[in-house]
């Protein structure tokens, strides 16, 4: 099989890249390890920065998002049994959109299929070959046949546990990593959200987040131990803990059947460089953020946009410079998001073994955030993200 761009992974990074390349007239093939049902059913992130929502809309795949997603102009912060609202719309003129990652993925898979370039699913044996010669090669089984895929470029969009990062030469890339001494337990609740906006709750027993997927489905997270066993969290315990942390003053919380229980570990990770020869990494394959600031999906999209533009410059006018600058261009937004995610993670979570001094310092930072307009504006800019630029 011969293709200009071979894209490994049909997550947000791979699918956005394929979609934008198609709009620029560049053909590609997406190779995904899992089956379509699995990919479309995987519950993960749900907060789209304004730039991500604009990008999807401007590139023609935002119709359902505009109908079913919810635009949020602010959120609520609870600590010390107080409630504070921050309006990002007022502070920096920007909003976020709540729309599940798997819905974004569904919309993009439909667009690929309608364009006559559906992803290959169930490709679970990809092995990278040459990445520095005249063409890149990879081997896998397609439609039951052992196949050699030859491409001008390979885009590694296969997430943190994928295979493409191993294509970087041993010893050369530098990896930066931080693991946090806690995790998030996440559930979906078949109940209307408590209010119209997200609630971030900082409590001595741990952080809690009340998010949502629709007017009838809530998404809830609890800070738990890093090695937490889900079996120790029957639904009644989850409900009681949510109530304690989210509603210290007896605020309302609707209850419904819980599903999709999962534990998400918390880590920051970046590999530099994000490219080698004809291989370019995008999204979680190159970096991970702790989920606190909801940046993972948005970063994956930001990388895909940079890579799509660089490839379009190469195919359109033979300009190799944007491809050569790919790592440098991406790392600028990657490290901004890493820093904000690390900062917010520190602010919102009592660390195990934290002393009374540190707890007071965190509270002082929270107080500053809700009393200083300058601090709140800075926060709002980071939270809603930067513009991605127009596609068309
Ligand atoms: P992925 O979405 O991981 O996509 C990679 C794709 O590659 C997958 O479809 C995978 O099946 C495929 N693949 C893997 N290996 C191979 C292979 N060898 N060959 C072919 N295909 C392969 N972010 C937030 O902002 N908020 C959240 O609440 C949040 N919750 C999360 C919960 C969980 C459990 C996880 C794992 C992540 C969460 N994230 C969250 C992070 C966010 O979902 C990711 O940052 C985002 O999915 C990154 O997109 P991606 O396209 O880079 O990678
Ligand atoms: C969601 C996750 C986050 O980490 C966040 O800050 C906001 C929303 C979510 O999954 O809905």
pLDDT in tens, 62-94: 999 999 999 999 999 999 999 999 999 999 999
State pLDDT tens for residues 178-212.
999 999 999 999 999 999 999 999 999 999 999 99
Using the atom order of ligand 2, give the atom closest to the CA of residue 291.
4
Nearest to 242 by CA among 259, 226, 222, 228: 222
Shared domain check, 137 and 29: yes
Mean pLDDT computed over 348-369: 96
- Per-residue confidence (pLDDT) for residue 391, from 0 to 100: 46
Is the residue at 131 inside a domain? yes
Shared domain check, 277 and 303: yes
Position 172 confidence tier, pLDDT thresholds 50, 70, 90? confident
**Tokens linked to 3:** 């293709």
Mean pLDDT computed over 15-35: 98
Residue 275: other Cβ atoms inside 10 A: 26
> Under a CB-based contact definition with an 8 Å cutoff, are residues 223 and 208 in contact?
yes
Active site residue 200: yes
Mean pLDDT computed over 241-249: 95
Shared domain check, 308 and 218: no
Shared domain check, 251 and 124: no
- Per-residue confidence (pLDDT) for residue 256, from 0 to 100: 96
Is the residue at 85 inside a domain? no
Q: Is residue 208 lining ligand 2, measured as CB closer than 6 Å?
A: no
Q: Is residue 294 lining ligand 2, measured as CB closer than 6 Å?
A: yes
Domain span including residue 40: 2-46+100-173+273-352
Residue finishing a domain among 197, 230, 265 = 265
The full 3-state SS of 185-199, as one line of letters, equals: EEEEECCCCCCCCCE
Shared domain check, 235 and 141: no
Active site residue 176: no
Q: Which of 3-12, 184-193, 378-387 has the lowest mean pLDDT?
A: 378-387
List 19, 22, 295, 333, catalytic entry: 295
Mean pLDDT computed over 99-116: 97
Shared domain check, 336 and 205: no
Mean pLDDT computed over 309-321: 98
Shared domain check, 145 and 208: no
Residue finishing a domain among 265, 289, 311 = 265
Higher pLDDT, 292 or 44: 292
Position 260 confidence tier, pLDDT thresholds 50, 70, 90? very high
- Per-residue confidence (pLDDT) for residue 392, from 0 to 100: 36
List 248, 291, 315, 349, catalytic entry: 291
Mean pLDDT computed over 349-368: 96
Shared domain check, 134 and 17: yes
Adjacent-strand bridge partners of 79: 82, 202
Is the residue at 54 inside a domain? no
Active site residue 295: yes
Q: What is the CATH number of the domain that holds 253?
A: 3.30.9.10
Shared domain check, 169 and 136: yes
Is the residue at 106 inside a domain? yes
Active site residue 106: no
- pTM of structure: 0.96
Residue nearest to atom 2 of ligand 2 (CA): 294
Active site residue 99: no
Position 154 confidence tier, pLDDT thresholds 50, 70, 90? very high
Shared domain check, 16 and 111: yes
List 120, 200, 221, 315, catalytic entry: 200
List 120, 180, 276, 383, catalytic entry: 383
Is the residue at 383 inside a domain? no
The average confidence (pLDDT) of the chain is: 96
Cα distances from 210 to residues 16, 52, 126, 315, in angstroms, run 28, 22, 39, 45
Task: Please give the distance, rounded to the nearest whole angstrom, from the Cα atom of residue 363 to the centre of ligand 1.
Answer: 33
**For the chain, what is the largest distance between any 2 Cα atoms, rounded to a whole number of angstroms?**
66
Task: Please give the distance, rounded to the nearest whole angstrom, from the Cα atom of residue 9 to the centre of ligand 1.
Answer: 9
Quote the CA–CA distance of 94 and 50 in Å, as a whole number: 7
Mean pLDDT computed over 365-375: 98
Quote the CA–CA distance of 172 and 380 in Å, as a whole number: 37
> In the predicted model, is pLDDT for residue 390 greater than 60?
no
Quote the CA–CA distance of 341 and 369 in Å, as a whole number: 16
> In the predicted model, is pLDDT for residue 171 greater than 90?
no
Q: What is the CATH number of the domain that holds 110?
A: 3.50.50.60
Quote the CA–CA distance of 189 and 103 in Å, as a whole number: 17
Shared domain check, 23 and 127: yes
List 22, 72, 210, 287, catalytic entry: 72
Q: Is 386 helix (H, G, I), strand (E, B) or coil?
A: coil
DSSP E strands, 143-274: 145-156, 174-189, 199-202, 208-214, 217-224, 258-272
- Per-residue confidence (pLDDT) for residue 388, from 0 to 100: 62
Residue nearest to atom 5 of ligand 2 (CA): 294
Q: Is residue 47 lining ligand 2, measured as CB closer than 6 Å?
A: yes
Pocket of ligand 1 (CB under 6 A): 8-14, 31-34, 39, 44-45, 101, 123, 126, 157-159, 162-163, 262, 264, 283-284, 291, 294-297, 300
Residue from 18, 30, 45, 161 to probe ligand 1 pocket by mutation (most atoms less than 8 Å from CB): 45
Residue from 46, 97, 383 to probe ligand 2 pocket by mutation (most atoms less than 8 Å from CB): 46
Is the residue at 141 inside a domain? yes
* ipTM > 0.85 for the complex: yes
Using the atom order of ligand 2, give the atom closest to the CA of residue 45.
10
State pLDDT tens for residues 337-351.
999 999 999 999 999
- Domain count within the chain: 2
> In the predicted model, is pLDDT for residue 369 greater than 60?
yes
């Amino acid at each position: 099989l011969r293709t200009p761009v071979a894209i490994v992974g049909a997550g947000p990074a791979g699918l956005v890249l394929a979609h934008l390349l198609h709009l620029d007239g560049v053909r590609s093939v997406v190779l995904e390890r899992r089956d379509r049902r699995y990919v479309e059913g995987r519950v993960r992130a749900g907060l789209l920065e304004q730039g991500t929502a604009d990008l999807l809309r401007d590139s023609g795949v935002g119709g359902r998002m505009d109908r079913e997603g919810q635009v949020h102009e602010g959120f609520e912060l609870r600590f010390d049994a107080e409630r504070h609202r921050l309006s990002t719309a007022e502070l920096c003129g920007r909003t976020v959109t709540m729309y599940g990652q798997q819905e974004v993925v569904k919309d993009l898979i439909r667009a690929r299929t309608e364009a006559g370039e559906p992803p290959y699913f169930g490709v679970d044996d990809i092995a990278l070959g040459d990445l520095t010669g005249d063409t890149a090669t990879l081997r896998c089984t397609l439609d039951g046949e052992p196949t050699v895929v030859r491409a001008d470029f390979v885009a590694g969009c296969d997430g943190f546990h994928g295979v493409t990062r191993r294509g970087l030469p041993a010893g050369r890339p530098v990896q930066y990593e931080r693991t946090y001494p806690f995790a998030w337990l996440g559930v979906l609740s078949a109940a209307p959200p408590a209010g119209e906006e997200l609630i971030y709750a900082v409590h001595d027993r741990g952080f809690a987040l009340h998010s949502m997927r629709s007017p009838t489905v809530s998404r809830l997270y609890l800070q738990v131990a890093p090695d937490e066993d889900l079996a120790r969290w029957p639904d009644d315990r989850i409900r009681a803990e949510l109530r304690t942390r989210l509603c210290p003053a007896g605020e309302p919380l609707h209850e419904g059947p819980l599903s999709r229980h999962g534990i998400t570990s918390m880590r920051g990770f970046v590999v530099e460089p994000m490219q080698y020869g004809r291989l370019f990494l995008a999204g979680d394959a190159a970096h991970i953020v702790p989920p606190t600031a909801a940046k993972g999906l948005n970063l994956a999209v930001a990388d895909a946009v940079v890579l799509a533009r660089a490839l379009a410059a190469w195919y359109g006018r033979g300009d190799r410079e944007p491809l050569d600058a790919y790592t440098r261009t991406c790392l600028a937004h990657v490290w901004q998001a890493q820093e904000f995610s690390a900062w917010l993670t520190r602010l919102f979570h009592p660390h195990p073994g934290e002393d009374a001094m540190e707890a007071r310092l965190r509270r002082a930072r929270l107080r500053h955030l809700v009393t200083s307009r300058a601090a709140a504006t800075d926060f709002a800019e980071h939270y809603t993200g930067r513009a991605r630029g127009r596609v068309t």
